[in-house]
Amino acid sequence: MPREIIITPDAPSSPLYSQGVRAGSHVYVSGMVGVHVTTGALAGATVQEQTRQALANCETVLKAGGAGLQDVVEIGVLLTRPEDFVGLNEEYARWFPSDPPARYVAKLGVELPGILVSIRMTAITA
């Protein structure tokens, strides 16, 4: 099955990974952090602010790949500080108020200055 690299100027990027990859009806979004693409700055110092921006960045990549949040079947969350779990859930629940996708949360093993959360997604489109 051929794969299509998803590229959008509206989400953070790196030459080290693709923002997303579409393979058939599957859309895979790389781990996104809470950085504003226009400024390159963190969305804020709280996990809620960074979660909100990371989810917005994921949504942007999904759209560029022909998918949306309603198509997401699985989300992976990496937290720098496990004690931020409650704050993560506060913001996350606003994005997925009912019938949320499958999810895992683990500790981010790499220390990145100021980064509190990284979120990746998998979506399936019709």
What value does the mean pLDDT take over residues 100-104? Answer: 98
Predicted local distance difference test score (pLDDT) of residue 32: 97
pLDDT-derived band at 111, boundaries 50, 70, 90: confident
Provide the domain count of the chain.
1
pLDDT digits (tens, 9 = 90+) for 30-45: 999 999 999 999 999 9
State the CATH number of the domain containing residue 100: 3.30.1330.40
Predicted local distance difference test score (pLDDT) of residue 69: 97
Tokens representing 120 are 């990746």
What value does the mean pLDDT take over residues 97-118? Answer: 94
Burial bucket for residue 95 (CB in 10 Å: 0-12, 13-18, 19+):
middle
pTM over 0.85: yes
Q: How many CA atoms lie within 13 A of 126 on its CB side?
A: 1
pLDDT digits (tens, 9 = 90+) for 54-87: 999 999 999 999 999 999 999 999 999 999 999 9
What value does the mean pLDDT take over residues 3-31? Answer: 97
* Domain region containing 81: 3-124
Predicted local distance difference test score (pLDDT) of residue 126: 83
Q: Count CB atoms within 10 A of the CB of residue 107.
A: 9
